[in-house]
Structure 1
Amino acid sequence: MPVVSTGSTATAASTGSAPGDGGAPQARRVLSLPGTINLRDVGGYPTVHGRSLRWRTLLRSGTLRGLDGRGQAILAQIGLRTVIDLREDTEVAHDPDQLGRLAATHRRVPVYTLPVDRHQTAGDLRSLYDHVVDHRGDRLTAAMLALATPGALPAIVHCSAGKDRTGLVIALALDLAGVPAEVIAQDFALTSYFLRDEAAAAVQRISALMSTDGEELPASLMASPPDLILHALDRIHARHGDTRTYLLAHGATAHALDRLVEALLVPAEASDAGPDCGPPTAG
């Protein structure tokens, strides 16, 4: 499976270690497919229950607008079944996913309502995340239920840059599965390493769509600090007790959430050797 091997991100990938990987290079989880940005695997992360997430089961990404035939073939080899697109209609119209003949279900679950008013976000990411957590819980839950659909995995969850909307949905999935908060935060922060110039441009495009007055939004919206996702999870936990209860309050069922967790985790009696052990079966 290809990994990041060129550009400034290669240095970070080859010298750092991904959280929960026991010192394995970050490059193990980053998939460098032509025409994709910030595409990576959340497999291998440990849980507080002593199990770990399956490799090649849940992927996160930015736009798939440039995915070519080679990339489509690799995703087909993984066994990709679902693409969950969190973008708005205007984004999709401008940059449609290029799935070609890839036999995967494309699910649209828009999270924002664009443009987002400045008074809702105060021009900063924490306010934006608060707004999404408080007022878009049904959308976040819809994305989780799409993952929980029987046969949905392996799946890719993506938005424009694979940073904010994707970061929230992935954080909910990891938290639901029992991944420790500090590992979730480190996974979220990996975007800072792998956000290439094209991904930065994607964030700028969505920022322009978010603005109601034509003004450029703050550069701080480009960041992915670990405390940002911890704040969002803390907000959910403070108001609902835990992520599971939050999702149940917004339309999920206990059966669907249990099914998703079991599909994401390596069976208790088995071990997952890593991303090169072949396509996983889940869902």
Structure 2
Amino acid sequence: MARRRSNPAVPTSPTSVASFDLGSADRPFDNILNFRDVGSSINKIYGSRILKEGVLFRSARPDDASERDKKRLVDELGISTIIDLRSNTEHVMATEKRRSAMSLETDAEAAAVMADPDEHLLELPGVRRFAISLTGRAFEKALLWRLDWFRFIKVLALAASGYRQDAVSIVGREVMRPRGLIGLAQDTLDCSVDEMRELFDVLARDETYPTVIHCTQGKDRTGLLVVLLLLLTRAVPVDVIGADYVKSEPELIPELEERMQEIRAIGLTEDYAKCPPGWTEAITNYLNEKYGGVEGYLLSLGIDREKQERIRSRLLA
């Protein structure tokens, strides 16, 4: 293992790592925010090359990628797989956003979008795409059971009547908001067993790489999966993982107002656009205390040591 070098550039505040120049190495895309090479980011923070670069990437949703963006993903970065962690509700909202944008175009184009609810998804030639909602049914059920009976019945009635977003906003306001981003990450670890198993099965395959992992902001669900992967390497200190995590907050500033509209629509506050201090440390401590660390957690999912080693070898330099 490479010896860690002293690095005063480790960010202590999210605002210290903002980069808004599209021509810079840190912001190489026109319409994809919060995109970075995890290996390169960690190596720079750590001060030594401990991870492979050009293997694991993370980003916010790439739905609006420009033609230049698409070309770079395929031709320059050689992306093999895109892993989309968004929920069904987020996909519905993204489709509605695309339809709204198309309202200024021709009727024929609008009709084509209406006919395809997945029109918002980024499709690239030769690139596999896995849509695995990290907050799936088990996670949703766990949140529902935290409601009192009155709101529980109301949410079920709204969902059954087709008012899914209204139902989600009640759960967001009454359950998700009090849990906070740390509590929700812990709930995800405990509840999203099937989804996590599927994700790590995909990540154990050599043909998956190079891969981009994303959710809507590329901050928390993406961050949770990246934390698990980095802890699995046994090479990246927790403070370095945390320094990479907080990079996401300033990277999302260009679309903050738009994101806040979406966040408020599901009953949440501006705190959900931020990177809370101590998030990475809290997740690591939770894994250690409840599962005996990341390896114990993955074993509890059914991800054996052979698969864990395959993933580790793909990431370590």
TM-score normalized with structure 1 length? 0.75
| Deviation at residue 120 of structure 1 after TM alignment | 5.7
Larger radius of gyration: 2
Secondary structure of the 2:28 match is coil
- 2:106 corresponds to 1:110: no
Secondary structure of the 2:19 match is helix
| Deviation at residue 199 of structure 1 after TM alignment | 5.2
User: Which residue number in structure 1 is paired with residue 34 of structure 2?
Assistant: 38
Secondary structure of the 1:132 match is helix
Q: As a proportion of its length, which structure holds more helix?
A: 2
- 2:204 corresponds to 1:181: no
Closer, same or farther: CA 55–31 of 1 in aligned 2, 3 Å: farther
| Deviation at residue 165 of structure 1 after TM alignment | 0.5
CA distance in 2, matches of 1:174, 1:204: 32
- RMSD of Structure 2 on Structure 1 (CA): 2.8
CA contact under 8 A between 2:263 and 2:269: conserved in structure 1? no
Closer, same or farther: CA 130–164 of 1 in aligned 2, 3 Å: same
User: Which residue number in structure 2 is paired with residue 153 of structure 1?
Assistant: 209
CA distance in 2, matches of 1:52, 1:205: 37
Please say which of residues 93-102 and 153-162 is displaced more in the overlay.
Answer: 93-102
Please say which of residues 130-139 and 104-113 is displaced more in the overlay.
Answer: 130-139
Identity %: 27
User: Which residue number in structure 1 is paired with residue 3 of structure 2?
Assistant: none
User: Which residue number in structure 2 is paired with residue 119 of structure 1?
Assistant: 175
Unaligned runs of at least 5 residues, structure 1: 1-8, 15-26, 212-216, 267-283
The number of equivalent residue pairs is: 239
Structure 2 counterpart of 1:191, from 224, 248, 251: 248
Structure 1 counterpart of 2:186, from 130, 135, 155: 130
CA distance in 2, matches of 1:220, 1:10: 19
Structure 2 counterpart of 1:67, from 65, 68, 71: 65
User: Which residue number in structure 1 is paired with residue 227 of structure 2?
Assistant: 171
| Deviation at residue 168 of structure 1 after TM alignment | 0.2
**Match runs of 1:258-269 below 5 Å:** 258-266=309-317
Please say which of residues 142-151 and 199-208 is displaced more in the overlay.
Answer: 199-208
Closer, same or farther: CA 123–10 of 1 in aligned 2, 3 Å: closer
User: Which residue number in structure 2 is paired with residue 223 of structure 1?
Assistant: 274
Closer, same or farther: CA 120–190 of 1 in aligned 2, 3 Å: closer
What do residues 67-98 of structure 1 show as CA deviations (whole Å, max 9, x unaligned)? 12211111112110000000012322432554
Please say which of residues 125-134 and 175-184 is displaced more in the overlay.
Answer: 125-134
Aligned residue type for 2:132:
V
| Deviation at residue 51 of structure 1 after TM alignment | 6.3
| Deviation at residue 12 of structure 1 after TM alignment | 3.1
Secondary structure of the 1:122 match is helix
CA contact under 8 A between 1:82 and 1:104: conserved in structure 2? yes
- Which 4+ stretches in 1 moved above 4 angstroms? none
Closer, same or farther: CA 223–172 of 1 in aligned 2, 3 Å: same
CA contact under 8 A between 2:249 and 2:275: conserved in structure 1? yes
Secondary structure of the 2:219 match is coil
- 2:19 corresponds to 1:13: yes
Aligned residue type for 2:135:
Y
CA distance in 2, matches of 1:186, 1:39: 15
CA distance in 1, matches of 2:220, 2:53: 22
CA distance in 2, matches of 1:228, 1:222: 13
Unaligned runs of at least 5 residues, structure 2: 1-14, 95-117, 141-167
